[in-house]
Structure 1
Amino acid sequence: MGKRDAAILDILNVERKVEVRSLAARLGVSTVTMRKDLDALAAQGIVEREHGFALLGNPDNVKGRLARHYEKKLAIARSAAQLVHDGDTVLIENGSCCALLALTLAETRRNITMVTNSTFIANYLPKSSKANIVLLGGIYQASSQVTVGAMVKACVKDFFVPLMFIGADGWISGKSFTNADHLRAEAVRDMARQAEQVIVLTESEKFFVRGVVPLHVEDKISVVVTDDGIPQKAHSQLKGSGAKIVFAQGEAS
């Protein structure tokens, strides 16, 4: 992503909806160039287009969250992708970092299979992708674009994989990563039982958010991929529990 794309997202993250002509004037380019930039961002699912305007999606769903700290999330996703090899089968839960991980794997790995309960991820990958996607059945939760419930638990029992990748909505110090939704948290736990290790992908700002529903998968977490803004207390607690901390643009800790 170029500097102008990043500047576009900075403006949209503040104003949510901006006229194309205004964006072009602020960034010193023609409206034709700005439309091309916005079309490219829209093709990646990062922004939405409306006649004469650019806007961000609903911040409560994955597409709307993709634009927030996009470059940081992409760096986290690319770092996590280094743990996956050609021919692997992995579990991936919903979330913006996880969606970018799925896209990275689809673009860079051969014969990769991703098992997920995220309908967003299943639809986010380009039609030309040769990645294998297994979508777990269940009750469709439209607000977060995932399947949840007893059927997820039943379907995922057909798999046992080395790695599962999850996101997090928050953190309870000394206890657990958290989710904002009880049914989604339950689905994460059911999926995590079918993985040898759980990898957490999250921006450091989530460590400053006290979540509502603990995930309770601490015994499976082997790696946390984040940025270098993680608070020292959380860093120490995670290392003390045996988890490896990987900074997206730095050395492993």
Structure 2
Amino acid sequence: MRIAERHRYITEKLHSAGAVSVASLAEEMGVSVVTVRKDLQLLEEQGLLLRSHGGASLPSAFVNDRPIAEKQDVRAEEKRLIAQAAAGLLQPDEAIIIGSGTTVDAFARALPRSFRGTVLTAALNVAGALAAHPALELVLLGGVVRKSAASAVGPYAEDMLRHFACNRLFLSVDGISPDFGLTTSNMMEAHLNAQMCRAAQQVVVLADASKFGKKGFGRICGLPEVDLIVTDAALPELYQEAVEAAGVKLLMVGKT
């Protein structure tokens, strides 16, 4: 078996059984125990399992709300590469919406100084990164500030969005589930993000591979409502196939 095939086999086995043993995996896949342990280590680094003595189990599929400062350095290099790739998609004079979160914050910082257009955002860190940008017009959505995300939420921000039509939304999420869709850990942010999706002609999701297979409390939209997902090359083949089956384009960055 190739490494991608082994990883798919292990994740499928985990989702059906809930737990696996190193010995049984080695026997079933016809590889050494050392190879299985390396595979489990790689999958754990992607957030797809939790290793234990002699085996592995599924991590909790549900994500909790964490402060943005705590998430800033998690998979920072992957976020940087994703942000750069997403910034390369921009066209002059576009009107775009940027959501909240650490990945879209990296995206805002990756916008070239020459980019000419309009940016709508409710995220204070995104607004701060773009406030002195020489060539763009910045529109800050108002509302109650959700401190853990440094972002405004609520009916005022949602009402403002109804007055705009934008080319693209660049959205960061807490979880991507093939069956449940895009989610975040806060229901008010999820509702605002859903409104952002309706205000944009194209929905672009920026999410590293660890977000796949996870669920947050608040559902934003279904996977088929997304146009493009920009992620890193560590995304397991299982999720690549699910994204493509939903009719969503996939842009993967970084080393394979």
- Superposition TM-score, scaled by structure 1 size: 0.70
Structure of higher CA gyration radius = 2
Match of 1:240 among 236, 242, 245: 245
1:117-136 aligned at under 5 Å gives the runs 117-125=122-130, 127=132, 129-136=134-141
| Deviant stretches of 4+, over 4 Å | none
Match 2:110 to one of 91, 104, 112: 104
- Is structure 2 residue 198 aligned with structure 1 residue 161? no
2:203 aligned partner:
198
CA RMSD for the aligned pairs? Answer: 2.1
Quick one: distance in 1 between partners of 2:119 and 2:255? 27
Structure 1 Cα separation of the partners of residues 117 and 150 of structure 2: 22
Distance apart, 1:110 and its partner CA: 2.7
Residue 128 of structure 1, CA deviation: 5.7
**Structure 2: any 5+ residue segments left out of the alignment?**
1-64
Q: Secondary structure at the match of 1:121?
A: helix
1:69 aligns with: 75
* CA shift in 2, pair 1:224/1:162, >3 Å: same
**Deviation of 1:152 (Å):** 1.3
Shift, 1:210, TM fit: 3.1
CA contact (8 A) 2:99 2:122 kept: yes
List gaps (5 residues or longer) in structure 1.
1-58
Identity value in percent: 23
TM value normalised by structure 2: 0.69
Say which SS state the counterpart of residue 196 (structure 1) adopts: strand
Counterpart of 2:233?
A: 228
CA contact (8 A) 2:173 2:182 kept: yes
- Structure-1 separation of matches of 2:168 and 2:225: 10
Aligned length: 192
1:137 counterpart residue number:
142
Residues 204, 185 of structure 1: alpha-carbon distance in 2 compared, 3 angstrom cutoff:
same
Residues 131 and 138 in structure 2, CA contact (< 8 A), matched pair in contact too: no
- The answer (yes or no) to whether the contact 1:161–1:195 under 8 Å persists in 2 is yes
Amino acid in the other structure paired with 2:126: I
The structure-2 alpha-carbon separation of the partners of 1:141 and 1:81, relative to structure 1 and needing over 3 Å to count, comes to: same
Q: Note if contact 1:207-1:231 (Cα within 8 Å) is conserved in structure 2.
A: no
